[in-house]
Structure 1
Amino acid sequence: MKRTLFLGLLLIGQVHAANWSNWRGEDASGVAMKADTPAKVSDESNLLWKAALPGRGCSTPIVWKDQVIVTCEIDGEDGVIAFDWKGKELWRNQFGKAAGTRHKSAGSGCNPSALTDGEHVYVYFKSGTLAALTIEGKEVWKKNLHKEYSKDGLKWDLGTSPIFAGGNVVVALLHNEYPSFLLSFDKKTGKEIWKTPRDYKAPKEAQDAYTTPFVATIDGVETIVTWGCDHLSGHDAKSGKELWKHGDFNPKQQSNWRVIASAAETEGIAIVPFGRGGFVAGVKMGGSGDTTEKNRLWTVKGVGSDSCTPVAMDGKFYVLNDKGKDRGMVTCLDAKTGDAEWTSKLPRSAAIYYSSPLIAGDKFYAGRSDGTLFCGTITSKGLTDVVENELNDTLVASPVAVGSKLLVRTHGQLWCFE
């Protein structure tokens, strides 16, 4: 099975080598293999620029050629801003009243990351607003998914980001109390292409998911892989039809096992973080119907991530324990067996992790909520030469590596180091 990123009608050869067009990068893995970014960063040594942001937002920046695009609250409204590589603002747009935040220290109404194919930019907010703009920032269409499909049933702040699948824009509405859906919209008009219910049996709040789906070619079919409601599922990207589902992630039917960290994939195997950071499982993707009995490859207890999505690369998963006594533990797992190849421990603190880790070249980056950005070199035995960088601002968004530049978004600033 070969993993591919679908950017609508865009040909793979046309994708700019230094883009980061969605939340987790060009193949949604959290990896920038050709990047050459600094391990040590500071205002004095290698800060290219720092731009003050007008309001709260926890979304990760995206990049298309000469634009860095990030969502945030602007004058009490949902907003998006684009900067050039010198930190100069190029354009901004606003989309109506922003929703209030429920997580006062680490949440916002602008948690989902933007998405682009180089022609249009797509943004999604806790208010339910989904909008398309030209790459120059002009609004093309706008709709509200909470008004048209289902109210916001999440206990906390919306987290899922839009993706491209089947040549369209796809959004997952996965929450308690109200109907859950996978939704596909025409990129140019916003017209609904298909709507597929995604309601599986699960206890209250375990139905809530803050995750983002990914797209893979599985058994020759472009497939949307979604984690939430105690199930990993595969849906046909063209039609929305469910192809397979995989359960048994909540055997004792815990009522509060909502999921935040998304699944990730390498070599046809998905890693599924579950149990509020207590477990991870390896699932062979594909098949048909209920694959729970035959496609579970392994389950590991004690290695897990509640908020941080693992990095997937070359048959390995890199998992950052983000809470509890083992927070700051980084484990490299073999995708086929679940065996730990190595474990390293980042310096301990009372602060926890929300930011998903990044691999750039041979460097592993992890952002802690107190504004500490760690960077270590990946070796066959673990992380070496670990550096602590202090940004002195709340850090929730994931770092981004593009070429020689490292982008870090904190609550109040967008930083660019080189």
Structure 2
Amino acid sequence: MKLLPALVLIPLLARSLYATGDTSANWPHWRGSRDNGSVETGTYPVKWNAETNLSWKLELPGKGCSTPIVWQNHIFVTAPVDGQDSILAVDWSGKLLWTTRFGAERSGKNAHGSGSNPSPVTDGKSIFVYYKSGEFAALDFDGKVLWQTNLVELYGRDTLYWDYGTSPVLTGRDVVIARLHHGESYLAAFDKSTGALHWKVARNYITPDEGDHSYATPILMKHESRETLLVLGGEHLTAHDADDGKVLWSCGDFNPQGKRNWVPVASPVIAGDMVIVPYGRGTRLHGIKLGGTADVTITNRIWMREDTGSFCSTPAEYKGRVYLLHDHGPDRGVIECIDPTTGKTLLRDELPRTSSEFYASPTVADGKIYAVREDGVVFVARIEPKFDLLAENDMGEQIIASPVLVANHLLLRGEKHLFCIGNKR
């Protein structure tokens, strides 16, 4: 681990702005109410299988890799229906309430991918969706389309090597889309009520091959009392004013050796006044102090490790600590707890290993971590005060989407089914 010098930094109280209402009852965004992949209240299931101890399972109409979201009595999940981009609404009994279709699906390039990789997002009033095809829309809770446009038709196709997976992000006023790839990359904000474009800013950097691509999702946070968007891609972490997209500060030097194909897939996670950034295809982990102005590359990188990280799975923050799931390579299945202020490892253990890898991001609740392997095995392990593997639950089908823990239930989106495990609401 490299500890890096830090100059005087602007004090900052950083936090996600997704927390809305009763955070135990809602999961409005793919990483939850606090945008950190964890929940600190509730009691969640530990042992089950695909045939017993299920509340219900619902057959899905087509393949998608997006994570379900929840607002009170509604569960929303995107999937293709008869070759069309669609969203399904389900209640807590597993009943399908409605399906809304938008247009022709653009299917995935990768065997694990799909045209429905981005997850929906909601503010409790409307639901917002985006698909690889470029279809971009807002709906009400009855499934009525409020507005719809196609960003591929407006701004051209993405040039990503693999399937677009960045999810929309909400501010108080707008729904924001980030598209970072080779060519004209951009960040754009659209009015939540009308879909009208408020601003669109270019975000282009010259990088080695694939370094200008990104599959990470931005984070909304507070910066000096204003809404700020954190964006990772193009070998830079940038903070943008949510009102106009202006860059407030930028941190670079994530690939000083100019490695090819160092594309970010996992998103960063905020822990206190630090943002933890996985990089280098699972070989690097950076601790960046939030705040400052202009170029903070030298001042704000507090530590960097070259012996740990994650490639596809986004870390989770829980009670001030950061939990990594090593998803690929020789360390796949390793669970590691990191002190975000120092970068030091506080806990390290590993799950049973097979040839299968991990694509889903880990979720933490009730002192336990839920980690889903691509072959559909869901591991549940206690992480405090020490690591203890509690269960291996085989769902019998591939799972790429991240687990959702909300209202004492676990939701799992598999290749063929949406599963609900839990007994009390």
TM range (shorter): over 0.9
Amino acid at match of 1:334: D
Alpha-carbon spacing, 1:25–1:272, altered in 2? closer, same or farther (3 Å): same
Q: Against the structure 1 CA distance between its residues 270 and 122, is the aligned structure 2 distance closer, same or farther, given a 3 Å change threshold?
A: same
Q: Which moved more, 1:307-316 or 1:106-115?
A: 307-316
Partner of 1:156 in structure 2? 162
Compare 107-116 and 251-260 and name the one that shifted more.
251-260
Q: Aligned equivalents of 1:218 and 1:294: distance in 2?
A: 17
Please report how far the alpha carbon of residue 204 of structure 1 lies from its aligned counterpart in structure 2 after TM superposition. Answer: 2.4
The residue aligned with 2:297 is: 292
1:32-84 deviation digits (Å, cap 9, x = unpaired): 11131111122454200000000000000000111110000110111110110
Does the alignment pair 1:101 with 2:112? no
Q: Is the 8 A contact 1:16 1:65 kept in 2?
A: no
**Offset of 1:286 from its aligned partner?**
1.1
Q: CA deviation at 1:409?
A: 0.4
2:153 to 128, 147, 155: 147
Equivalent position of 1:55 in the other structure: 62
Alignment of 1:270-281 (within 5 A): 270-281=275-286
Match for 2:306 among 301, 305, 313?
301
1:19 to 26, 50, 57: 26
For 2:201 and 2:148, the matched residues in 1 are separated by: 21
Give the conservation status (yes or no) of the 8 Å contact 1:244–1:291.
Answer: yes
Structure 2 residue 2 is the aligned partner of structure 1 residue 2: no
**What is the CA-CA distance between 1:220 and the residue it aligns to?**
2.8
How far residue 241 of structure 1 moved from its aligned partner, in angstroms, is 0.6
Q: How many residues align?
A: 411
Question: Which residue in the other structure is 2:396 paired with?
Answer: 392
Q: Distance in 2 between matches of 1:154 and 1:13?
A: 33
- Residue 29 in structure 1 maps to residue 36 in structure 2: yes
The partner residue of 2:341 within 323, 336, 341 is: 336
Match of 1:234 in 2: 239
For 2:215, the equivalent position in structure 1 comes to 210
Cα distance in 2 for partners of 1:96, 1:274 equals 35
Which moved further from structure 2: 241-250 or 311-320?
311-320
State the 1:208 CA deviation. Answer: 0.7
CA distance in 2, matches of 1:240, 1:111: 25
Match of 2:184 among 173, 179, 185: 179
Structure 1 equivalent of residue 229 of structure 2: 224
Preserved contact between residue 66 and residue 84 of structure 1 (Cα < 8 Å): yes
5+ residue gaps, structure 2, are 1-11
Aligned with 1:374 (options 364, 379, 394)? 379
Letter in 2 for 1:295: N
Shift of 1:3: 4.1
Residue 313 of structure 1 and its aligned partner are, at CA, apart by: 2.7
- Cα distance, 1:373 vs. partner? 0.5
Distance 2:202 2:251 in 1: 16
Deviation larger for 41-50 or 321-330: 41-50
Match of 1:128 in 2: 134
Matched, 1:85 2:92: yes
Provide the identity percentage: 42
Q: How far is the alpha carbon of 1:5 from its aligned partner?
A: 4.5
Alpha-carbon distance between aligned partners in 1 of 2:77 and 2:20, rounded to the nearest angstrom = 25
Find 2:417's aligned residue among 379, 391, 413: 413
Q: Distance in 1 between matches of 2:15 and 2:82?
A: 39
Mapped to 1, the partners of 2:339 and 2:262 lie a distance apart of 25
Q: 1:276 is paired with a residue of what secondary structure? A: helix
SS in 2 for 1:343: strand
Shift of 1:19: 0.4
Task: Please give the secondary structure, in 2, of the residue aligned with 1:28.
Answer: coil
CA distance in 2, matches of 1:16, 1:326: 33
User: Post-superposition shift, 1:150?
Assistant: 3.5
Residue in structure 2 matching 1:138, options 129, 139, 144:
144
RMSD between superposed Cα atoms in Å: 1.4
The TM-score, its normalising length taken from structure 1, stands at 0.96
SS in 2 for 1:146: helix
Task: Pick closer, same or farther for the CA change 1:330–1:417 going to 2, 3 Å.
Answer: same
Please, which runs of 5 or more residues in structure 1 have no aligned partner?
none
How far 1:203 sits from its partner (Å)?
1.7
CA displacement, residues 61-120 of structure 1 (integer Å, 9 cap, x when unaligned): 00011111000011011111011000000000111110021102x100000000111211
Per-residue Cα deviation, 1:327-377 (whole angstroms, up to 9, x for no partner): 000110100100000101010110000000000121100000011100011
